Amino acid sequence: MPVINRIADFSDEIAAWRHDFHQHPELLFDVHRTAGIVADKLRAFGCDAVETGIGRTGVVGVIRGRSNAGGRVIDLGADMDALPIMEATDVPYKSKTPGRMHACGHDGHTAMLLGAAQYLAEMRNFDGTAVMIFQPAEEGGGGGDAMVKDGLMERFSVQEVFGMHNMPGLAVGRFALRPGPMMAAADRFTITVEGRGGHAARPHDCIDPVLAGSQIVNALQSIVARSVDPLEAAVVSVTVFKAGDAYNVIPQTATLGGTVRSLSPTVRDLCETRVKAVAETVASAFGATARVDYSRGYPVTRNTPEQTAFMAAVAAEVAGAGAVDDDIPPLMGAEDFSYMLERRPGAYILLGNGDTAGVHHPAYDFNDAAIPYGASLWARIVETGMPAR
């Protein structure tokens, strides 16, 4: 079962939808235009039910097969939001909103799932129920979590969940995934170092939070190097350091911020404990104090073995046996589809985007050549997982 001919026939139409979304990027939960178009198209395709406002601005389309014998329900998920980035491409469908762009390919994800919905609603070549989920606020807003907390799984009797994301650097027509931890948990911290400010010419009368903060940055790197098992994975990155406004003043405070990534609950707990202990004790050694605000974000994206093997097999039918890597190394990026995988068995797969700029880069653009592969995989997951009798 290669790329579906019917989907290939209207892939230009899917690309046109994608270009429209690309021209009108929306952020986080404020995806009202995109969600409205998605809902309208799902109704026009003949979906059996279309519900909006789930998780604030999420959309769900339900397509029932020829028979619902056995009651199997498969969820396919896509994201709709863009990023606050100034676009640096010269494509004719460039963003019309300065400072916003689809720099992660969610325009392509949404369009591909719509293409699969159109095909499935037209053909109905399956027994069971396909639930098409379009979520807001993947880019840091936890839209997947919001939809789950709004009763998504229970309201639509979801039994399995499948997600997909494009991958620059992976050739078009190829897929990649793995069982177990696929992507990392993403936490963040803010460390406020309190010293005693004063004149920069009299440092002995001060407690310098810049010096203490600098030593905290260095010491935080010891967490991965010396506290985490070398056979485990973790990242601790300080990405913010703010202190002072004048050249001749030692400031009263310094603020550090950063992210922690991990692939297991044990390492996640360890990193949180160590970030707090290191910051507080190092600051104390310099006569300063440190207050650590640590917040947990997206959990680990964890694929269940059975659904991973199934998704890999279907991808191989679409793209060819040699076009699927089913045991890639985990990635330390994060994905809020993880909230859905926490509630139901499922899998998350990467779709080749070719030799393009990386995601979250101002020159990134989703590759339209990937559309037939992604939309066909969605459709075949439903048809293969719930075959018509």
Residue type for position 15 = A
Which of 138, 139, 272, 383 is an active site residue?
A: 138
Query: What is the spatial distance between Cα 106 and Cα 242, in angstroms, rounded to a whole number?
Result: 33
Which of 26, 79, 81, 365 is an active site residue?
A: 81
Q: Assess whether 87 carries a catalytic annotation.
A: no
Q: Are 63 and 54 in contact (CB under 8 A)?
A: no
Spatial CB neighbours of 290, under 8 Å, sequence gap ≥ 6: 191, 192, 193, 194, 212, 216, 279, 280, 282, 283, 284
Q: How far is CA 215 from CA 24, 220, 249, 335, in A?
A: 45, 9, 20, 32
Nearest to residue 81, comparing CAs of 43, 110, 56? 110
Query: What is the spatial distance between Cα 68 and Cα 75, in angstroms, rounded to a whole number?
Result: 15
Query: What is the spatial distance between Cα 375 and Cα 180, in angstroms, rounded to a whole number?
Result: 24
- SS3 of residue 285 by DSSP: helix
Across 259-269, b (16+ Cβ under 10 Å) vs e yields bbbbbbeebbe
Q: Assess whether 194 carries a catalytic annotation.
A: no
**Tokens at 379, concatenated:** 């459709």
The residues assigned a catalytic role are 81, 138
